[in-house]
Amino acid sequence: MSILSIEDVSLSFGGLEVLSDVSFSVEPGEIFAIIGPNGAGKTSILNVISGFYRPTKGSVAFNNKNMDRLSADKRAALGLGRTFQNIALYHGMSVLDNIKLGAHSLLNTGLFSALFYWGAAHKEEIRLRKEIEEEVIDFLEIESIRKKPVGSLAYGLQKRVELARALAMRPKILLMDEPVAGMNAEETEDMARFILDIKEEHNTTIVLIEHDMKMIMDISDRVLVLNFGHTLACGTPLEVQKHPRVIEAYLGQKKG
């Protein structure tokens, strides 16, 4: 059974059609990549899945449950984590505090206890910090920077902190928007390794957008190709690489 199903999704802004009848499904535990030229609609489909955009037509289902009426925060609480193309962190806060924000939806204490930070709220905060420090921070190898303000970190480390915040949500599906954009070769290799480890060790399903074709072809189980909001192809990396419509879209010529 698919963990994520997108059925005939279309999206328009005024008279501009951004997505047109896009359909695909994602299987549990796979790395599913979405690629395409600039303006293909890649980020728009992630925004539809995560609830930031409401499609003009079509539906989104998570674990066979329709999510069309659910807000972005409720989808996150169900297990949809997200990283962004442009880093969305609080630069004046420490690495640890930024990561803890990702686990906010997992807290169970009531407002009264939380306001006065006592009893159950205090115990839950301690438990949460312990889990983050022992699992997420250790997993992503950022122990040495956990007390530093995010704004003082290099770009590649900030991207890793954003990934840590998403992992603190314990997502069943992790949506990643250009996770290695702007990174050098070493940082890209590290991020690719972390993505593979998240799949294998956490059994997390990953849907990602990326322009780095080498990384996509190396780590993805399946690839969806979009062009001007339309689906060109979907299959294994090898199948997609050989698809004549994909070659035409990327190279501007037909395979002959």
Of 214 and 251, which is predicted with more confidence? 214
Average pLDDT over every residue of 194-220 = 94
- What's the predicted TM-score (pTM) here? 0.86
- Tens digits of residue pLDDT in 145-201: 989 999 999 988 999 999 998 998 889 999 999 999 889 999 999 999 999 999 998
- Tens digits of residue pLDDT in 27-58: 999 999 999 988 899 999 999 999 999 999 99
Boundary of a domain, candidates 168, 200, 233: 168
What is the per-residue pLDDT for 104?
Answer: 62
Q: For residues 250 and 225, what is the distance between their CA atoms, to the nearest angstrom?
A: 10
Average pLDDT over every residue of 216-241 = 94
Q: What are phi and psi of 170, to 5 degrees?
A: 55, 55
Into how many domains does the chain fold?
Answer: 2
CA-wise closest residue to 210 among 25, 77, 3, 32: 32
Percent of the chain topping pLDDT 90 = 58
Q: First-to-last CA distance in the chain?
A: 38
On the question of pLDDT at 94 being above 50, the answer is yes
Query: Are residues 195 and 137 part of one domain?
Result: no
Q: Highest mean pLDDT: which of 87-91, 94-98, 148-152?
A: 148-152
Structural domain that includes position 63: 1-79+171-256
For residue 75, name the pLDDT band (cuts at 50, 70, 90): very high
Query: Are residues 234 and 131 part of one domain?
Result: no
On the question of pLDDT at 127 being above 80, the answer is no
DSSP run (H or E) holding 237: helix 237-242
Query: Are residues 140 and 218 part of one domain?
Result: no
Query: Are residues 27 and 72 part of one domain?
Result: yes
